[in-house]
Every structure is written in structure tokens, then in C-alpha cells.
Structure 1
């Protein structure tokens, strides 16, 4: 049968018999008589005789079909969701409840629940002020259908991936979240928000939605709605707001607690100013504001906040601290998207919070502050007395509980909590962190000597700090510019010698110092690892410093001070973290610092207020004083085996809120001497601590270093001892040359005991360090 017959056979569906031959995937077709090189036949390419299993499975038709199928399924699901999810009843004002706050023994501390909100008609808000909110949050508000699909999709993805919120909601969506839903961060809530927003946009006018938004939003300072916010920040009604003020309130909604001018950090003030400018620039872009008017506008600094009635004294400070801690935990467990939403959720009420505050200790701390300081101040007779702001926190180092907190003279008179503010320098109370880092890292001096309590350093004022034979450009002065010659680390801590710890910080490595500071509990985000930080030039709060020292007291196991013992709500379960964490530095490092700090009390800058206090009764104490430049802050942070307390005084201008020398231009208070950490802070600490002691205790330390150890080296005297100087080698590494200033003792005191030759100290503000 010829070629034509073969073709006809194939057309009939038949096959021409052919002799059997070996088939090859790369060989010629079995029906090819021309062979591998025959005419009219294309050579088959290796591996291309058929589609593989994967290619047969993933064809472009199947992929496209799957995609279209998923789209149809998603559309169908959304239509079903749209039909099933109704617009619920509003849950804003009608469901507000009181929060109940209790002491650790169960007695009621306070009740807070009446919401500070007055709903106003949109007609009472100037049109230009209305537009500031649109310019800030949703420029397409008047044209969109109430949702931002891209932003919502991003929010859903972030929720599923655990990244939190990143914005993208329209004004309609935010109103729906405020009024109809909750602040919880779940996929279900976001999907409901999307559907309800679409329905609300169809059922309500844009003006009604905008009115609902500005009346339900939380603006900080306990203010819900634009009327309460106008009063809280500018002492005016909503209908009297200017465009500038409206732009600030609109900018504030992004982060009320961070952008509140009264408590904002310098960075936050820059951020809110930038957002204020952004709002006004958007108004110009939308044609809502004249360019010439915009250029003439100045930032409207808000009024100082006023405390909430009923929260007088220390109550308001404790309530605010508890609310803030609960809000942080709600964010951490995913109940709220951010701190602002969490605070709004807390403020909605229905919470019962038990605080770790011990009522007896709280009363004792308040009494100590009053007896030792506030009763001695009279702003009417001396204006600078009104610039002194005290704050204190007391922590149980074994449990991490905040057992007492002093936020200021009165919450209603001074809204800001001095116990939690972190805008003042901790000064020399940071020095123990440097020593802890040195011991933890087995650091060495520039000469290769291990850094211990007995290591010798040059204690001269303005000693040039060196790093591998090179000057680092840092030579800090000592207090009163005193030269100490060669001293031990123990003596340097006792006398708080700046030059020694500046060099030690470089010896350890400032990166390591800041790393250890973070592990101990300091918030080091954004802090530069530079030698100037050895002087405690960063910001810190009494709460923060109490946590750091509590970790040292707890032998290096991390202590995160906790004010909340429990928080209960009918709609939420809050699991509070354990305040006691893991070992962050070795026990030897922590105990070595504690041992050295007993020398500060027994033979250093806290001698008069603490060591010689008749109420001490043999109690072993470790601690450190601190005084920042220009008398802006003064500290004493000290501890016993069972209690850590940090006391700070801050110079705050009574009118402007800016940082000032709390004792005025002279740096002294008439009849009270110089402003120092060894004065009022140490006296408050001692009166409180010795007043609440149940028993006399001793430290259980695992170290061979510190105040109780005789030094292995005595500096060579540089001049002949006078008759008043000791005839035997002192038991601490004190300088054997009399300092050149009259403020320093003329005889070297011995460790742990007072000497007859010391210069009497002022009972209020003894000489201290920078």
C-alpha cells in the first residue's frame, strides 16, 4: 500500500500494518518512510515529544479559570455577607459604664465612668473647621462610597500577618468603628466595618456621617467629641474654634496621647506640627483655604490640661497609670490596633481593675513627700518654689509590683504624672548601669586591667577620655571642678566622679553600655551610644529607674514594674504578663553593683539623709544620688533587699511647663542650700522606706567586690598629710590629697562609718554630683 493508500487509511480511522521497529523519542516517526533525514519531515527536539505532568496541570486556561472562579466566589461571598450583616444599634453613649479601681487589699480607690462628651450639631462647628478633619483623614470623603478597598485589604493582610494597623480607613469607616463596632483587631470586625460602612454611606448624608465622626472620636485628656476637646485644649466651645485650632484637633486624632502638646516629647511636637501643616496644606490644595490666609497662620499652642474632678490628690495619677498599662496590654494581645484605640476602649468603661498599690505604703509615701518637701515650699512667698515637681515610685523587687506611686502634689492642680514622665535626665543614677556593663562584659581598662570595684582610674576633673590612644573629644568636669587624682571605682561611685565613669563607658564600649541599659529596663530606642550618655544625659522616669534598680536588687533577673494586678471586663479577658522575667545580667554583675552602691550610702553622697538617719536601725541600703546640669533634676534611687524606691525632683516652669533650674538662677534655696540628690530626694526616700520597714534585712550577695572589701591598692599621697588626716591607710580608695574646693571633706572617711573630720553637710541639700 502506497503513500496515498496510507493517507486514506488514516482518514478512515484505520492503520497500515508496518513492520515492528525500535521507537525512540528522538528518532523518526514510525510512519515516516523517509527516515531521519527524509524530505518533508522535521526532526523532533529532545524532550519535546509531549507535555510534562506539571505543564498539563498548570495551563494558562486552568490558571485563568481558577482565578475567575475565586473572583466569583469572593463576589458571591461578599454579596452574602452584605445581605446578612445589618447596621447594628449604636453602642456609643448608651453603653457607657463606670470603671472601678481597687487597692491591692480590695478596697475601692476610685470610680470613673461618666463620659466627657457633649454631642453638638454639625451646624455649630464652623465650616472651615469641619473641613480640617476631612483634609486630615479623607480628602475624597465627599466623593467616595464610604470605603477604601485598598486600605481595607492592607488592614486585613496586616491583621492576618500580625503586623497591626497601618491606616487606610475612610472617615465613614472610622465612624462605624467608633459608633457601631469596637476597637478590637480582628478580621471579622474589619469585614463588618467594610459592609456596614457601605450601607451607612447609602443611608446617611455625608454631613451626618461627619458629625458622627467628630462627636464620637477620642481626642485625649478624657475628651470624647469635638465639644469636649475644644474645652479641654482651648477652653472654648466648638463654635468658637479657629481654623488653626481645628487643624490641631484634627491632627491630634492620629495619636492623642503622643500629640498632646502638654506631654509630647520634642520629637512628638515636631510630628504633630508637621501633621498640622499637612492638614492646612491639604485644605489649600482642595480650595478650602486661601493661600494668603494659610501663610499667615501660626501653630495654636493648647492650654495646659486640667485634672478631672473627683480624681484629686494621687488618685488621678494612679488611675491614669492603670489605664495606660491596661491599654498597652490590650495592644499586645491584639484586642486593639494601637495605644489610642486601646485607651478609647478602656475609657468606654465596664472595667474592674485591681492595682498592686499597697494602701499603707501609698499613704506613707504621700506623707513622706509632704513632711520632707511640699510643706516647706511656699510659691506665694518665693516663685521658684512653684517650679519644683516631685515624683516617686516604689517597687517590690521580688514580685515586680508597684506598691506606691507619687505623681505630684495634686492631679487636679498638676495633670502630668511626675512618676512616669521621662523628659528629665537621670544624671548620675545612670552610673551603676555603666559598672554593671563593665562587670557583665569582663571589660578592661585602656591598660588591659580588669574593671572591678578596686580598679584605679584618674579622677581629675576634665580628664580627656581616651580610646586606644586617641582622644574621643570628651572631657567632662566633676562637681565643682574638683580633682581627685587616682581613685578606685568604689570611691568614684561614692563621690560620683564624672571623669571616671566617662572613661569607663568608653573602656566597656558605649554600644555595650546601652545594650545592658536596655536589658535592665531602660527604653533606649533612639538613644545614641556616645560618651556623653555616661553622665545620664538621656531621659528617664522614676518608674523606669525603679525597674532598673529592682533588676539589680533581684540579682539580675528582669523586673518590669507592674501597677495592675488584674483587669476584668464582661467582653474581654486580659492576661497580664509576669513582671519577673529572665536573667538579663549575671548574678555576679548585679550583686557587685549592689555591693558598691552600699558605699554610696555608707561613705558617699547619701551619708547625711540615709546613713545617719536615726530610723535606719541598722538596715542595709544601696543607692545612688544624681543631679543634672543647671539643677533641672535631682534624684535618689535606693533599695533594701525587699523594696526599691526612686525619687525625683524636676524643675518645671509653673507657667510654660519648660525645664528650669528648680532653685532659680542662684541654684540654691534660701536656708536650704544647693539642689542635690542627697537632699530632698534622699530625705523623702529615707522617711518613706524606714517608715514602712517590717524588719531589718541584709543583702545576700554573690560577689567578692564592693564596699566591704579592702582595696588592693592605695594611691600614693601627693602631699604631706596634715594633722587632721588619718594616720592609717583608709579602708576605701579615697583620694589622699585634699580637694581644692571647700565643699569636700578634709579627711578621707572610712568605709561604712562616719569620721570625725568630715565637713558638716547641709541638712536639705548636701553637696552632690552632676
Structure 2
């Protein structure tokens, strides 16, 4: 909306205003050559003034008379100021010290001024020919002062016509990988312009009453307001207050918000100029359309819509007073802030001011106070909200919030909105079905392990569910991973002498560490399983073997292995003990996905890269992710940017590569992937047809459930996709005892992975050169023999395969021991 200039008739302005504007415009148009002419003119004028010398003599006599009493006047002035000082000393010692110094300076200045004037006047009387010199110096001094004033204050003043032609701040847009708009970030632009005629009188009166009661009588600046703010500034040592509505408009639109005397002076000058070029109604209209109301809401129309869900024309007095009070401190008074009651207190202040200015009566105000203000909950049209906010945090850290909110960036992310919607649907539906398990929230993350691209990120069941803290993003929150962390422990074990065939006793054990209570780990099923190979121990997620393995290799080795694989939260090893392998150290889902991704990548760690490309507002690419063959679309024409910008773009300023880092031996990663994909290895604990099985697909997967039933995980991968899921409660309350990796997170994981792998196909992973296959007897962990009941081909790192052969006696003894253990546990009914 533009506002045509309407210069007012000369008769409608006071004389001082017309003269001031005339001088102001002359000074703004003056250049250096004109000042040289001005100095010459002044000199000629001084010579002409010689004829006035006789008249000057009479003036000098009067000045001598005045200077005679100058010292007497200064003494009386000092006497009066002394009384003022006595009063001030009672209120502020610091102010007194400052005042005394100032008074002494004034006293000395007055004394010296009187002496200089007397001597100067005597000299002028004696030497009449010096009068011309004095006049010349005075005029030149004034001219130089005006030049300095022009350079300091008036130079580069923005034209007030910018108020009518202001360009909007650019909006940053977030897209998915296919160019679908996810969200827009903007600042100072979420507004709807509205003419003053459509703004109710109550809104205008409320605004004038609380912001500038003399609005319709002053000429841009309020003398009373300036005096009041100057006294406050001098007494407090700060710079604030005293701005009229016109000055606020100038500050918000034409000047920077810095708090300096120079800016305040420029603000006042421009305010007078604005008053000269625009009518009062035009100024008020621009103010009400430009003023901030909190957050991204600017202008009275958008404030009424955002906070109250109303058209501005439909506001009642109570609502008008409520909104009129917000611009004074939009953040502190925000209805969505930490203390929304402050806005009600401010509303009452506005009503009181309206009474003082005779806009309303006391009775009318009391009726307005009784009206309940109904604030709408925050509402935003945003797709993949957790992911969008995740991207915002990354951009803020890299470019700063100002660029993100005003710079007009076009950000193309790795997210696939189609996959995102499927993932969100599965999380929401499953959590709704699991309410009887006391589960209120869930999360899921889908990535491409080879490139680190994030295809989907769902941080909760419902982002807008305030009852269950839906805005929390569980994919980046610190949570205990339960048994989902075990692959890191076993990766360190395989790198330090263990093999997939190593026999580990799943038998009762108590660890006694000096200074700590005895630690006796138990399995999830509360049973012991005797001697089992590492493959079964990991596949069935038994706790006791995992703790024994960690005890053998050392906690520090697991911590170092985790750091190599992308875990950043294990920064203090002294905090962790043997329970680390059972999930005793908190991690983020995003980091756990990187760790599992390094297994999928045969030992190469690739950090997450959720941004594929960033273009600036002109369409020039300023960052591009080079670890992908994805062909990105040009910006949509609906964004307002050219679709052929790549033809005219400048050279890239930054290219982001995969930065693949070695995290673990390829053979170790291969064996881990094979164990996690082995359904027979997990069958003893989960059965043959669990949710960990994706029909016609070979997928590596691991579950995790914390002992206190507060976190439930499932993470699985193929070379092309990685899916991590979690369920639990953000308030820390435990789930029902029947909740497990099979009943909670696994169904979500299974449905997401099945939708990604919707066509049967063979995923061939080349066997690393340092991996060999050998036939073994799983009961003994040795080479197979004729008497072995369940021969199996096992993978080994070169040089770690067994060399001994099983015997019939060893097999019989092992089978007998397992049977005795089983009979004992069955007779007891539970684990002892």
C-alpha cells in the first residue's frame, strides 16, 4: 500500500516549522562549491558593515553595561543552583558529585566569559577597525558550524518518501529434495496492510492514548515528551523514551534501532519532515501497519488475526486496548510468552490512559476490563515441523538468525516429503494403538547411510500436541538407548580377539568393583541360557554375555569405538561402567543413526547431511552437497525467483563433501551386519516371525529397551536405507511392563522399512578381503566334527578362525549342562 505525499498549505503550519523545513531543505541540497561562494559573500558583507560602526558603538555601550552585571548575575545563579544541589544531595550522592563538578565548571566558565567579554568590548571601543574582523569571524564560525552539523546529522538522511515505497524484507524458504515448500522463515514481513478507515476508532484512540497523547497537536516531536525523557536520561545515564508515534515510525522504517544521541536527533529531524509531507491520518495508518506486535506478527491487522482470530474491523474495546499495549515490548508482553498475564496488566494501563484523555468513561473501561480475552493457540502452516526446526538451527549456527530470517535463502534439503508423510502416519497410528501400554510419543528417522542424507524426521506423535510436549524432537534429544547400543560393544570385541563363534557363558555372575555396590546383570527374559556363541548373544540381545564381553575388553575400548562411530556424548569416561553396554549412556538418535550407518557402509562413517543446496536471494548457489547424484529441481515459479538462475549463477563459494571417516574394520562391520540380519540368531529371544523380519528382504536390525521401561528402540538398515524408531514418554514416566522392542518401536520400524523396500530384490554386499568362511560347530565354537548336531558356516576375520576340532565328549557335556540349567530354571519358575 502506498501513501501519496500531500504537502500542506503554508498557512496551516506555524512559522517556526516553515522556516525550519526551508533551512533543512537548503542544507540538504548544499554542496562544497556553494560554501566557497558563501564564504566570499560573507567577507564582502562584512566590509559593507563598516558603515554601521557608529550604530555598533551605541550597542557596545549597552553591552558594557550588561557585562558589568554579568558577574552579579552568575553569582546569584550559583547561589540558586547551590540550593538545588542541597536538595539533590539527599537523593543521590553520585548525582551530587557529578553536579558539583558541573557547577564548578559552569562557575569558571561564567567568570572567564565575563572577563573575556569585558576586555573584548573595551578593545572594540578602542579599536573600531576590529569590529569588521569580529563580525567576519562570527559569520564564518556560524557557517562552519552549519557545515559540521550537515556532515554529522543531515548527511545521508534517508528520504521520507521511503515510508511510502518501503520494500519487504526477503523470506527464507525451506524445500524438500523435490522442490516442495516445507516452510517460510521471515521477519518484519508477516503483515496485512489495511487503510485507516477500516481500523476502528477504539484502536486508534487506544494507540494514541498509550503511545502519544499529543499526536494530533505536535509537529513530529513533543517538547514535553523530550523534556521528560531528557530528565530521565540524565538521571539514569541511559538513552530512552520520549518518542512520538511519528518518531517511532521513522525509527522502525527509516533508521537503525541503535540508541545514540545522533540517531535520536536524526529521528527528530525526519519526524518533522514526515509531518510536513504526510497528513496525521497517513502517519497513523503507516504506524499501525508497520509496528511490531510480537514474533513474526507486524501490523494491527495481522495481530488481530494471529492472536484473536478476528478481522480488525470486528475488535471490541477490550481487544483494541489489549493489542494497543503490545508494541511497547512485543517480546515481554507476547501472549505466547512465559508470562502472558503481563499483557493483561498492560491492557489495564491502556484503558486508564484512555480515561485520562477523555476517550472513554470510567464505566466503559470497567466493562472492558470484565471482557475475557481469548487468545488463539499458535498456528502455523508447516510441513515436517521437527525437521524444519532442525534445519533452522543448522542455518542459524552457520549464518546467524538475521540472515535466516531476512536474507531470502532458498534451502533445498534431503527430506523426501512423500516418505516423511508415510513415516509420520505410521508413528501416529501405532502410538494411538499403544495407549494401553502407557506410550504417548514416538519418533522415527530415515537416512541414506552412504551419503548421510535425511529422508524423513519425525520427532513426536504430533508436533502440535502441547499436552504431551509434541514440539520436542526425540531424534535429537538425549535418551538412553538400551540394548540398541550393544553393536558398538561387540564391534570393539571383534576388533580385539573375539569372533562370531566365541563361546560366552550366559550364567549368573556378580561383578565386584571397589567403591561400587555389587553388580549382577540379568537378561530381559529373566533366564540363563548357558554357553552360547557371540552370534546368538548379540542376535538375541542377551544382557549377561554383553556385560561379560565388556568386562573382558574394558569400558574405555567401547567408548573409543563409539566416538569413532559418531557418538559425541561419552565425553567423560569416568561416568560410565559395565552398564554402558546395556544403555547406561545417553545418546541422540541422529548420532546412533550415524553409528549404525558406519556398519552399513562397511566401516566408513558418514555424518548426517540434511541440506543438499543453498541458494541466495538472487539464485546464486552458495553451498552445495557433493556426495549425492540427486538432480535437484530449479526453484518453483511460485517463489518469485527465476527458474533459469543456474545459467547466470556465480561460482560456488562452498562445496560440502561426504567426509567419509574410517570408524571400524570393514570385516568387523561386515560380520556385525551379517549377525544383525540373521533371523536364526534372534529366534531364541524373538521367535521366527517377529516384526524384525521384513518379508523377502535381508535387513540388519537391533532392538533396545531400557530396564526402567522409559525408552524403546528399533534400528535397522540395508546398504540403501537406515530406519531408527523410538517410543516412550517425554515426561519420563515408564511404559507398561509388557512393552518391549517387539510391541513398541518394532511395528513402526517394520512398516516404514517395508514401505521403503516395497519391491523384492537382492542386495549384494561384497565380502571384504579380510573375511573368510569356515564351517564350525556352534556348540563348541570349534571346527565342526561328525558328531556336531548343528553345523554352521561362520564368517571370521583372517587369522581368527578356530583351529581345533570338536569332540563327541565335549558336545555331550555341553548338551547335558544346558539341559540341567533348563530343568533347574523351569522348576524354579523364574531366574534366581
Q: What TM-score does the superposition give when structure 1 sets the normalisation length? A: 0.53
**Counterpart among 635, 643, 651 of residue 729 in structure 2:** 651
Structure 1 residue aligned with 2:490: 435
Within a 5 Å distance, the mapping from 1:362-761 to structure 2 comes to: 362-370=420-428, 373-377=430-434, 385=438, 387-414=439-466, 415-439=470-494, 442-443=495-496, 450-464=497-511, 473-524=518-569, 526-529=571-574, 530-531=576-577, 532-570=579-617, 573-574=622-623, 575=654, 577-599=656-678, 603-604=682-683, 605=685, 607=687, 613=693, 616-617=695-696, 619-652=697-730, 658-663=731-736, 667=737, 674-693=738-757, 694=759, 695-702=761-768, 710=776, 714=780, 728-729=789-790, 731=792, 737=818
In 2, are the aligned partners of 1:625 and 1:637 still within 8 Å (CA)?
A: yes
Within a 5 Å distance, the mapping from 1:82-101 to structure 2 comes to: 95-101=168-174
Structure 2 residue aligned with 1:264: none
Structure 2 residue aligned with 1:234: 338
In 2, are the aligned partners of 1:591 and 1:701 still within 8 Å (CA)?
A: yes
Secondary structure of 1:691's partner? Answer: helix
Counterpart Cα distance in 1 of 2:566 and 2:608: 9
Counterpart Cα distance in 2 of 1:193 and 1:113: 19
Q: Provide closer, same or farther for how the CA distance between residues 360 and 217 of structure 1 changes in structure 2, counting only shifts above 3 A.
A: closer
Secondary structure of 1:458's partner? Answer: strand
**Counterpart among 364, 382, 388 of residue 319 in structure 1:** 388
Secondary structure of 1:231's partner? Answer: coil
Q: Is 1:102 matched with 2:175?
A: yes
Counterpart Cα distance in 2 of 1:425 and 1:351: 36
Secondary structure of 2:569's partner? Answer: coil
**1:137-166 CA deviation, whole Å, 9 max, x = no partner?**
xxx9943689xxxxxxxxxxxxxxxxxxxx
Structure 1 residue aligned with 2:197: none
In 1, are the aligned partners of 2:483 and 2:703 still within 8 Å (CA)?
A: yes
Counterpart Cα distance in 2 of 1:556 and 1:306: 47
Secondary structure of 2:660's partner? Answer: strand
Within a 5 Å distance, the mapping from 1:295-374 to structure 2 comes to: 308-311=379-382, 315-328=384-397, 330=398, 335-336=399-400, 342=401, 345-348=403-406, 350-370=408-428, 373-374=430-431
**1:167-203 CA deviation, whole Å, 9 max, x = no partner?**
xxxxxxxx9xx98999xxxxxxxxx999x86744777
Counterpart Cα distance in 2 of 1:519 and 1:566: 27
In 1, are the aligned partners of 2:716 and 2:723 still within 8 Å (CA)?
A: yes
Q: Provide closer, same or farther for how the CA distance between residues 483 and 180 of structure 1 changes in structure 2, counting only shifts above 3 A.
A: farther
Counterpart Cα distance in 1 of 2:610 and 2:820: 45
| Residue segments in structure 2 that go unaligned for 5+ positions in a row | 1-150, 192-202, 212-233, 241-247, 269-289, 298-305, 308-325, 347-375, 624-653, 795-810, 828-832
In 2, are the aligned partners of 1:101 and 1:354 still within 8 Å (CA)?
A: yes
Q: Provide closer, same or farther for how the CA distance between residues 600 and 712 of structure 1 changes in structure 2, counting only shifts above 3 A.
A: closer
Counterpart Cα distance in 2 of 1:739 and 1:112: 67
Counterpart Cα distance in 1 of 2:565 and 2:612: 22
Structure 2 residue aligned with 1:167: none
How large is the Cα RMSD of the aligned pairs?
5.1
Offset of residue 645 of structure 1: 0.7
Select the structure that is richer in helix. Answer: 2
In 2, are the aligned partners of 1:393 and 1:419 still within 8 Å (CA)?
A: no
Counterpart Cα distance in 1 of 2:154 and 2:656: 39
Offset of residue 524 of structure 1: 2.0
Q: Provide closer, same or farther for how the CA distance between residues 99 and 684 of structure 1 changes in structure 2, counting only shifts above 3 A.
A: same
Q: Provide closer, same or farther for how the CA distance between residues 630 and 86 of structure 1 changes in structure 2, counting only shifts above 3 A.
A: farther
Counterpart Cα distance in 2 of 1:475 and 1:682: 28
In 2, are the aligned partners of 1:636 and 1:681 still within 8 Å (CA)?
A: yes
Q: Provide closer, same or farther for how the CA distance between residues 606 and 482 of structure 1 changes in structure 2, counting only shifts above 3 A.
A: closer
Counterpart Cα distance in 1 of 2:155 and 2:777: 77
Q: What TM-score does the superposition give when structure 2 sets the normalisation length? A: 0.50
Counterpart Cα distance in 2 of 1:474 and 1:596: 28
**1:35-84 CA deviation, whole Å, 9 max, x = no partner?**
xxxxxxxxxxxxxxxxxxxxxxxxxxxxxxxxxxxxxxxxxxxxxx9999
Offset of residue 476 of structure 1: 2.4
